[in-house]
Amino acid sequence: MSERKTTKEDVHSWTSRYADKAGYMLNPDEEMRELVLEGIAKNKDTHGKNYCPCRIVTGDEIEDKKIICPCIYHKGEIETDGSCHCDLFFKKEDEDTDED
Amino acid sequence: MGLGNFISNLFGKEKATASNEPAVEEISTNLYEINTAAFENEVVNSGLPVVVDCFTKTCPPCRKMAPIFEKVAAEYDGKIKFVKMNLKNSPEIAKQFKIIGVPTFLFFRSGDMVTNVVGFVEEDKLKEKLESLLE
């Protein structure tokens, strides 16, 4: 039996939970969002970790740990740019809007 | 070339730039995708200044950048050569230039990298960098 492949939906599930918990939102642009989710899923299956698809896996375990999504840089990037480098997590634009 | 590569290339399953052989694919006016094996010839030995867009396919900022890079490439035809490198196929380039995120743009003049930019850049900012490459 082969191992089940990681799906975009798997990644969407935990990244959504993280975004909610951290007070962020996922990229509202579906095409771009799906691209990142797919990239993370691929990295999970290829490298065994949820590496950011916009960062380069070096093979150095300590360095690569920094780029496991959500990476160590994302908070600072969201604070200064409004989104993380890979455009997955965004600062919530309107805190008052509570759409479901 | 190994049998696997030969068969893949024969049936078009593998992109040429994923090969170990030097590969240069013209994407559009003044825009080429190359691999590591072609880097020396196409970038280092180029008679023109060169800008290299290091990207991966699953990176949204890279995708957002692609049409801008393509448009600007046509505008600088004959002045600056525009090159794309998929780092999934060319991990050696990432190591050589210590690239930690994509997209990363490397700017070369006379074979030397003079500057780089990491992340999505607006068209005018990209042009600013390109103009400085021509000075």
**Residue ranges for chain B with pLDDT beneath 70:** 1-16
pLDDT band at A93 (very low <50, low <70, confident <90, very high): confident
pLDDT value at residue A95: 56
What proportion of chain B, given as a percentage, has pLDDT over 70? 88
Is residue B19 assigned to a domain? no
| DSSP letters spanning A55-92 | B---S-HHHHHTTBSSPTTHHHHHHHHSB-TTS-EEE-
Which residues of chain B have a CB within 8 Å of the CB of A67? Answer: 100
Q: Within the 33-92 window of chain A, which residues sit less than 8 Å (CB to CB) from chain B? A: 33, 35-36, 38-39, 42, 53-56, 58, 67, 85-88
Which residue among B16, B34, B54, B62 is the active-site one?
A: B62
| pLDDT confidence of residue B72 | 98
- 3-state DSSP call for residue B32? strand
Separation between Cα atoms, residue A90 and residue A74, nearest integer Å: 10
Average pLDDT of chain B is: 89
- Please state the length of chain B: 135
> Total domain count for chain B?
1
**Residues B35-70: tens digit of each pLDDT:** 999 999 999 999 999 999 999 988 889 998 999 999
Residue B14 lies in a domain: no
Residue with tokens 């006379």: B110
Cα of B29 vs its chain's centroid, Å: 14
Q: ipTM value of the model?
A: 0.70
Q: Look at residue B101 and tell me if it is in a domain.
A: yes
How many CB atoms within 10 Å of residue B20? 11
Specify whether the CB–CB gap between B85 and B54 falls below 8 A.
yes
Fold of A8-91: Ferredoxin Thioredoxin Reductase (3.90.460)
Read off the pLDDT of each residue in A68-96 and give the average, rounded to a whole number: 91
CATH number at residue B103: 3.40.30.10
Q: How many CB atoms lie under 10 A from the CB of residue A58?
A: 17
Interface contact flag, A54 B63, Cβ < 8 Å: no
pLDDT of residue B16: 66
**B60 with A86: Cβ contact below 8 A:** yes
Q: Tell me whether residue B54 is one of the annotated catalytic residues.
A: no
Per the domain annotation, does B11 fall within a domain?
A: no
Task: Give me the phi and psi of A52, to 5 degrees please.
Answer: -65, 130
Contacts of B130 (CB under 8 A, 6+ apart): B51, B72, B76, B80, B107
The one-letter amino acid at B70? E
* Domain span holding position B57: 32-134
Q: Which residues of A are less than 8 Å from B101 in CB distance?
A: 54-56, 85
Nearest chain A residue to B120 by CA distance is: A85
Q: Which residues of B touch A (CB under 8 A)?
A: 56-64, 87, 91, 94-95, 99-102, 119
> Does residue B118 belong to any structural domain of this protein?
yes
